[in-house]
Structure 1
C-alpha cells in the first residue's frame, strides 16, 4: 500500500492500490477534482469524492470530499453533480481525414470508396492535412477523449498534434505493394521518425497499412524496425471479404483495384492464407500488435491473435457504415482477447465521440454488457495502446486523465456505468494530466 506522510498523509477512507507507479513523497498535490460521483472502475463508485492530482499529473489518491485543502497552492475544481470517470480512449482514428466528413457517402463497394478517398487526398496540400488533423483533435478532446491512436499517412500529424492537450500515439503509416520500393519506403519512414520533436503527450508508432497494400518485402523490415526501436505496430487486417479473397486466390475486387492503380506486381502470387495466418507466417505476430477491424475471423485466426497477445480494435459505426457482417467481438472477448473501441475516420463515421460509439454499440449488440463496453472504451483501449499500467482507470499512480459527464435527471449511484453507456449524461469536460483540456463551461 502506498503511504503518504506529512500533511500529504492519506486519511482514512481513501483509495490505494497495489502494483502501480509509486509516487514520491515530494510529489506535492497540485489539483483536486471534486464531483458528486467518482467512477473509478465500472463497478467502483464513490459518492461526493475527490481525485487528488500530484505535480507530475498523476493521481495521488481518491477519497471522500473533506472540504477544500488548507494550502492556497492547491487548485480545487468542483464539477458539482457530475461524474468523474476514466478518460475515454479512441484506439483507432485517422484525424487527418476529418475534413472528409460527409464527402464519401455514395459508393458501390469498399474499393470504390477507397478510390474516391485517394482522389480526394490527391487534391490536398500539406496545410490541408494539418488543418484536418487539428480539427479532428479538437473534436476528440471536446467529446471526452483523453488518449487516441492516430494513423498518419501524410506524415504531418506529429507536427499538427504536437503540444495539443491530448495524449496520443501517432502511427506513421507505410504502404507499397511493389517489392522494389521497400527500401525507399522504409528509409522515408525512418527519416520521419528521426525528425520528430519531443512531446510529453505524443508517442510514435509504425503502421504497415494492410496485407493487401504492403508487400512481404516491406512488412518484415517495418516489423524489425518497430522491435528494434520498441515502437508499437498497428495493422488493418481482415477488414473485408474481398481482402480474404485476394490473399487466398489473388482474384476479385482488390486485384482490379491494385491493377488500376498500377501497384500490383506482374509476378504476384497470393499467399493462399487468411490475413491473420499470413501475418503470423511473416513473423509479424511474434509479439503483440494492434490489429484494426478484424471483421472476418475464423477460429484459427482468433487462436493466433490470442497466442500473440495482440489487441483488436473494433470500430462499430464504421463497421455499420460499410455494411459488414456481425463482428466477432463476443467471441473475442470470451476467448480473453483484449478488444478496444475506435471511431475510425470521419470519412466513414459521423463523429469522433467515444460516448457516441459506446452508445451505438449498446443499441446494436445486446450480447454485450454495459461494463464490457465501458472497459473497451477505457482500460482495454489504454492497454491496446501500451498504457495499460498508467491510464484507462482511476488509480493511485495512474495519469490523471479523466472524462467528466454531466448527468440528466435524478441519478443515483446504482448501475452508474450502465446509465452512462445506455445514454444518460452529456460530455462536460476532458482532463489530461490533471489539467482541464476542454469543457462546456
Structure 2
C-alpha cells in the first residue's frame, strides 16, 4: 500500500516549507506532497507524526566511523603533527578485531542524530563494511589510499566493491592527502578512479603544516611525521598551495570532493569559484586540532558546501546535531537573513551534492528516494526548531522508504 507521512511542517526545496501536509511514498520513492484534506479522500497507510517537522535526512559528508575507538586512547596534544603521530601509533598497535564493534557504536550515534547518509572513510580494507551494510544507512564509501597502501587498488576486496555498488552503497576513491602520497602515486590513483568511472575525495588544506609543506617551507610534517612513514613522499611540484597543486594534477577535471579547506589563499578561492569543486567543511574538527575555522563567509554562500563531523579521532562527538548547532551559531555572525535555512541546506542537499547524490536524495521532492527524518517541534519556525533539536527529539528516521527509528 502507498504510504503517507503526516506532519505539522514539511521542509521543501529552496528553503521553503508547507504546513499540515503529508509526504506520499510509493515503492521507496517520494511521489508527492498533499494536504491533510486531500489525504482523507484517498486510501493510504498513514503515519501521523502530529506536532513535528519533517525534513530530508541529514548527510554527514565526512566521517571516520572506523576510528571511533581512538577517542579513549588519545593523549593531550599541542600540534597537528603531534596528533597525527599519535593516530599513526594507535592504528599500528590496536587490536583490529575490535573495529567492527566500534563502527557499530559510531553508526548508532550517527543514526540517533538524524543522519541517513554518510561519507565514510575506510582505511582498514573493509573492517567497517559489514556493520555499515547491516545498518541500512546510505553510504558513499571512500576507500582510502596512501603511499604504503597504493598496491590495494589491485586487491580483491576493492575489485568486488567496484562490481557491487547499489543505490545504498556507492564506492569512491580517497587518496588520503597530498603529503601521504607521492605525486606519481597520486596521479596513479586519479587514473584508477577515472578508468573505473569513480569519483574521489581527499583531505586538503587541513593544517598550516600542510600549507607550508606544499609551499616548501619549514614544517612539522617533514620534521616530525615523515620518519614514521615507510617511504617519504616525493612532492614533485614547485611551491604552491595544496589546491593549486591538486588542480594542476587533475588535468582530466575529475570530480574530487575536498575535505576541510580551512587554510585558503585568495587564489584558492578563485579556483573554487571557477572549477566548483565540492567542499566538505568540518568546523569542530578544525578547532579540535588547533586549526582555524574555514572561511565561513565564503562557504556559507558556496553552491557545493557540505558538512562533516570527521571522526572521534578529531572531534568531541559525531553527533550531527552538535555539528549543525555549531555551524548555525557561527553562521549567525555572517548571514544576516535566515542563517538557519542555509545551514539546513548545507546539512542536507549540500551534503548530497558533495557526494554526487543530489539527484536522488537531499530534498523532499517527487522522484527522490524517501530518506526522511522528523523532530518534535521546538519552535514555531520549523527551521529554528531543527537548530534547537537534540537527539531525544528525533521522532522518526527513514532510509530508502524503510523506517529505521520511530518514537
Q: Is the 8 A contact 1:90 1:341 kept in 2?
A: yes
Asked whether the 8 Å contact 1:226–1:233 carries over to 2, the reply is yes
Which residue matches 1:326?
293
CA distance in 2: counterparts of 1:284 and 1:100, whole angstroms: 37
- 1:54-203 equivalences in 2 (<5 Å): 54-55=26-27, 57-66=28-37, 67=39, 71=43, 74-104=44-74, 106-156=76-126, 157-176=128-147, 182=150, 184-188=151-155, 191-196=156-161, 197-203=164-170
Please point out which of 10, 21, 26 is paired with 1:38: 10
TM-score (norm 2): 0.91
Instruction: Please report the RMSD computed on the Cα atoms of aligned residues, expressed in angstroms.
Output: 2.3
TM-score, length basis structure 1: 0.84
Matches within 5 A, 1:14-413: 30-41=2-13, 43-55=15-27, 57-66=28-37, 67=39, 71=43, 74-104=44-74, 106-156=76-126, 157-176=128-147, 182=150, 184-188=151-155, 191-196=156-161, 197-249=164-216, 251-265=218-232, 271-283=238-250, 286-334=253-301, 336-365=302-331, 366-368=333-335, 369-408=339-378, 411-412=379-380
CA distance in 2 between partners of 1:285 and 1:98 (Å): 35
8 A contact 1:429–1:438 mirrored in 2:
yes
Question: For residues 216 and 150 of structure 1, do their structure 2 counterparts lie closer, same or farther at Cα, with a shift above 3 Å needed?
Answer: same
Residues 49, 299 of structure 1: CA spacing in aligned structure 2 closer, same or farther, 3 A cutoff? Answer: same
Contact 1:34 1:77 in 2 (8 A): yes
Shift of 1:148: 0.8
- Range with greater deviation from structure 2 (293-302 or 423-432): 423-432
- 1:170–1:327 CA distance, 2 compared to 1 (3 A): same
Going from structure 1 to structure 2, the CA distance change for 1:276 and 1:285 (only over 3 Å counts) comes to farther
Name whichever of 392-401 and 353-362 sits farther off: 353-362
Instruction: State the secondary structure of the residue aligned to 1:155.
Output: coil
Give deviations 1:55-93, integer Å, cap 9, x for gaps: 1x110111112355754xx43211121111111110100
- Please give the secondary structure, in 1, of the residue aligned with 2:10: strand
1:69-119 Cα offsets, whole Å, 9 max, x none, are: 754xx4321112111111111010001111223432511211111111122
Measured in 1, the distance between the counterparts of 2:66 and 2:252 equals 28
Shift of 1:407: 1.8
**Distance in 2 between the 1:198 and 1:339 partners?**
25
Distance 1:416 1:100, change over 3 A: same
Distance 1:282-1:201 versus aligned 2 partners, 3 A rule: same
Q: How big is the shift at 1:337?
A: 4.2
Is 265-274 or 95-104 further displaced after alignment?
265-274
Residue 326 of structure 1 deviates from its aligned partner by 3.4
> Contact conserved, 2:181 with 2:234, CA < 8 A, in 1?
no
Find the aligned partners of 1:32 and 1:267 in 2 and give their Cα distance.
57
Secondary structure of the residue aligned to 1:395 is: coil
Q: Which runs of 4+ in 1 moved over 6 A?
A: none
On the 8 A contact 2:63/2:308 being kept in 1, the answer is yes
Asked which structure has the greater CA Rg, the reply is 1
Residues 102 and 346 in structure 1, CA contact (< 8 A), matched pair in contact too: no
List runs of 5+ in structure 2 lacking aligned partners: none
Question: Residue by residue, what CA displacement relative to the aligned partner does 1:343-390 show, whole Å, maximum 9, x if unpaired?
Answer: 000112222222211111122342142211111101110111111122
What is the rounded CA distance, in whole Å, between the counterparts of 1:297 and 1:128 in structure 2? Answer: 38
Shift of 1:262: 4.1
Where in structure 1 are there 5+ consecutive unaligned residues?
A: 1-28
